[in-house]
Amino acid sequence: MTELTLVQAVNRGLQVAMRNDPDVLVLGEDVGVNGGVFRATEGLLKEFGEDRVLDTPLSETGIIGTAVGMALYGLKPVAEIQFLDFIYPAFDQIVSELAKFRYRSGGQYPCHVVIRTPYGGGIKGGLYHSQSTEAYFCHTAGLKVVIPSTPADAKGLLLTAIHDEDPVMFLEPKRIYRSVTGEVPDGDVRIPFGKARLVREGSDVSLFAYGAMIPLVSEAAEKLASEGISAEVVDLRTLVPLDEAAVLASVEKTGRAVIVHEAARFCGVGAEIAALIAEKALYSLKSPVVRVTGYDTPFPYALENLYLPNADRIVHAVRGAVKAG
Amino acid sequence: MSRGESVHAVPPAGAVGFPALGREELLDAYRVMVLSRATDERCLSLQRQGRIGFYVPASGQEAAQIGCARALSKEDWIFPAYRELGVALARGVPLRAILDQLVGNSADVSKGRQMPNHFGFRDHRFVVASSPIGTQITQAVGAALAARRRGDPIVTIAFFGDGATSSNDFHAGLNFAGVYRAPTLFFCQNNHWAISLPREKQTRSITLAEKAQAYGFPGVVVDGTDIDAVHSAVAEARRRALHGEGPTLIEAQVYRFGPHSTSDDPRRYRSDAELAHWKESDPIKRVKERLINEGVLDETRDKMMWEAARAEVSKAVEEAEATPPVGAGTFLDDVFAAPTPRLAEERAEFEALLRDGVVKP
């Protein structure tokens, strides 16, 4: 075990994968000499050389299209998109190509690319360095969508992503890249997809969240405990595949559900979780499902603290849910 | 320097060190060209009869497609667009496999997942096509870099049309290829019409090939109705790529004789006179004349070749149509390597609907 920040854990995950498998390589803007704008790829160029750490021209469609071609040929490319906000020039390659290669070829052409990209607000990044648009990718058949919230998960889920057989969107909560530290197992220790993490057990309400919201939700659960409300915190970890069993089991136990994400509410992941609960656990509910999310606006710069969920908003929502029944 | 100056037209027949196709090679190429044309003729009719849903003809582009494919090694990776029937046939893809895809039956290796002409055959290193324009261009570059990393002495080739030169991935792909000196060939069949948009309105560039200059590698213009010129341009580009000299953009100037697809009527946007002009240099006619001049073909044998091609097409159509349709539940396969719990549940739901007769296969 080693104590690491989340971004260091990403770095170790890449290093371990590249040491163990010569087919793994990384490509993206500023990932080589500069070690990535967040230093996630620090030291990789020195250890693995230009053949496996490619500083690319400034073109997201170029990065992903190239990665798709490499994957078709049999390599395991890990592409970095500098910010999720800049991924859209590559949207066609991701949605029309990467996600559909296996399907459209009848299984002849699996296409396994990992796309790492920092997402989310809380860093004073304004409109174009803050968005949380995971729902676009969850809505596209053929993509797995992973969002870690701890250093150990970042490394373990990344290693699983790199050795998976399907395309993986690996969204990194940049707001907690350095603010969260934790013990991380050394070596190639993988964490399976589709298994939510029970962060905290509770009996009155279930809080479902992922990524950068987890520390806030935990803080809220702590406050609620002092008020005598026992909140269970479930970190979804992988949005596709979703651990539906964990969601349902928790709701069946507590009878209340509050879903927290920083993405906009309309058609967000919270809507899917709420629908799942409505379809399969409605009669366990004591009060309506509540969502604490970003607003249905573009991401505001100066007022981001008001846009983003925080512990107080979560506590307020939970109190309301408990009061409602 | 004028804009077109760095772009040279490839002189036909051996001027860059690659000899013209020999008689037997040419005769074999001609056989494939005729098969490609005969397939087009029959499939346009099948589409009108409602027996296939859609079709993208390649007529007029056979010399470019087959001349190009014959200059490649079978180990090279092909990244096609959706108009590459002649390339697939020249690569050795059985016509029956293509018909299975056009019909979308249970023998289709792509399992009926895509519209006609969007085929792919892994066994032939012919990557499966998609509809978005130009996306295969960056992918071909990635595969070339992967091949180089593995030490495989092959090239990759991206096929696309004049319209694709305006796409994002054309720019990104050529730029990446230039930067990394990727062993990739960019084969642009300029058929002069991107659906209804004429070549002059696609770009102000005098040629499409000259765009390569901006990316730091050669672009060549070749008469795409001259099979030898195409063959030698591709052979030279392939030699360069294999020797670490980087990519080449080849603009093969051709004309599509038919519509963009069965969904449009070219008379709405182009003249009969233009079509008639290009038909004078019908690539099939050109090869036929040469074969007759060289004494390897006469009208009788030519007629026999056409009859054989049409019979082959008829047989493939009959067999493909007699093959059972794609199984009802197969549309739920191949989303991932293994189904997620959600997909497994959707399959169970679908099977219950089938069982209860709510949906009918």
- Distance from the Cα of A308 to chain B's closest Cα (Å) equals 30
The single-letter DSSP state of residue A289 is -
Is residue A323 scored above 70 in pLDDT?
Answer: yes
User: Is residue A200 within a helix (H) or strand (E), and if so which, with residue range?
Assistant: strand A197-200
Is residue B255 scored above 50 in pLDDT?
Answer: yes
Nearest CB to A65: which of B147, B169, B180?
A: B169
User: B361: burial class by Cβ within 10 Å (0-12, 13-18, 19+)?
Assistant: exposed
pLDDT in tens, B48-63: 999 999 999 999 999 9
What is the CATH code of the structural domain delimited by A2-184? Answer: 3.40.50.970
pLDDT in tens, A84-135: 999 999 999 999 999 999 999 999 999 999 999 999 999 999 999 999 999 9
Inter-chain Cβ pairs, chain A and chain B, closer than 8 A:
153
B334 vs A109: CB contact, 8 Å cut-off? no
Write down all domains in chain B, each with its CATH number in brackets.
8-326 (3.40.50.970), 327-361 (no CATH)
Asked if the domains A2-184 and A197-324 are classified in one and the same CATH topology, the answer is yes
Output the CA–CA distances (angstroms, integers) from residue A57 to A53, A85, A238, in the order listed: 13, 18, 31
Nearest CB to A66: which of B109, B122, B138?
A: B138
Spans of all domains in chain A: 2-184, 197-324
Locate the chain A residue with the closest alpha carbon to B158.
A69
Residue A294 bridge partners (DSSP): A264
Q: What do you get for the CA distance between the two ends of chain B, in Å?
A: 65
Locate the chain B residue with the closest alpha carbon to A76.
B146
Share of chain A above pLDDT 90, in %: 100
Measured CA to CA, the distance from residue A107 to residue B339 in angstroms comes to: 13
Is residue B1 scored above 50 in pLDDT?
Answer: no
pLDDT in tens, A268-302: 999 999 999 999 999 999 999 999 999 999 999 99
Measured CA to CA, the distance from residue A277 to residue A305 in angstroms comes to: 29
Mean pLDDT of chain B: 94
Q: Which of B256, B286, B342, B347 is catalytic?
A: B256
Active site residue B269: yes
User: A325: burial class by Cβ within 10 Å (0-12, 13-18, 19+)?
Assistant: exposed
Is B156's Cβ below 8 Å from some Cβ in A?
yes
Is residue B173 scored above 80 in pLDDT?
Answer: yes
User: Is residue A156 within a helix (H) or strand (E), and if so which, with residue range?
Assistant: helix A151-163
Nearest CB to A106: which of B111, B169, B179?
A: B111
pTM tops 0.80, yes or no: yes
The single-letter DSSP state of residue B325 is B
Supply the Cα-derived Rg of chain B in whole angstroms: 21
- Distance from the Cα of B160 to chain A's closest Cα (Å) equals 15
- Beta-strand runs (E) in B88-218: 156-161, 184-190, 193-194, 197-198
Is residue B8 scored above 70 in pLDDT?
Answer: no
pLDDT for the residue numbered A225? 98
Mean pLDDT of chain A: 98
Tell me, what's the ipTM?
0.96
DSSP string, B41-64: HHHHHHHHTTSSS-----TT-HHH
Instruction: Provide φ and ψ at A206, rounded to 5°.
Output: -105, 130
Is residue B9 scored above 90 in pLDDT?
Answer: no
A59 vs B156: CB contact, 8 Å cut-off? no
Measured CA to CA, the distance from residue A173 to residue A121 in angstroms comes to: 9
- Distance from the Cα of B337 to chain A's closest Cα (Å) equals 6
Chain A residues touching residue B130 (CB < 8 angstroms) = 96-97, 100, 104
Q: Which residue has the tokens 């992973």?
A: A146
Helix axes B283-293, B299-322, angle to 10 degrees: 140
Candidates A108, A109, A139: best to mutate against B (most CBs of B within 10 A) is: A108
The single-letter DSSP state of residue B22 is P
pLDDT in tens, B79-121: 999 999 999 999 999 999 999 999 999 999 999 999 999 999 9
CB contact residues (below 8 A), chain A span 27-56, against chain B: 51, 54, 56
pLDDT for the residue numbered A325? 86
**Banded model confidence at residue B6, pLDDT cuts 50, 70, 90:** very low
What is the CATH code of the structural domain delimited by A197-324? Answer: 3.40.50.920
Q: Please give the average per-residue pLDDT across B163-180, as a whole number.
A: 98
pLDDT in tens, A197-250: 999 999 999 999 999 999 999 999 999 999 999 999 999 999 999 999 999 999
CB contact residues (below 8 A), chain B span 61-120, against chain A: 77, 79, 108-111, 113-114, 118, 120
Chain B residues touching residue A194 (CB < 8 angstroms) = 340-341
- Buried b / exposed e along A221-231 (16+ C-beta atoms within 10 A): beebeeeebeb
**Banded model confidence at residue B20, pLDDT cuts 50, 70, 90:** confident
Is A141's Cβ below 8 Å from some Cβ in B?
yes
Is residue A39 scored above 50 in pLDDT?
Answer: yes
Encoded amino acid at B287, one letter: V
Share of chain B above pLDDT 70, in %: 95
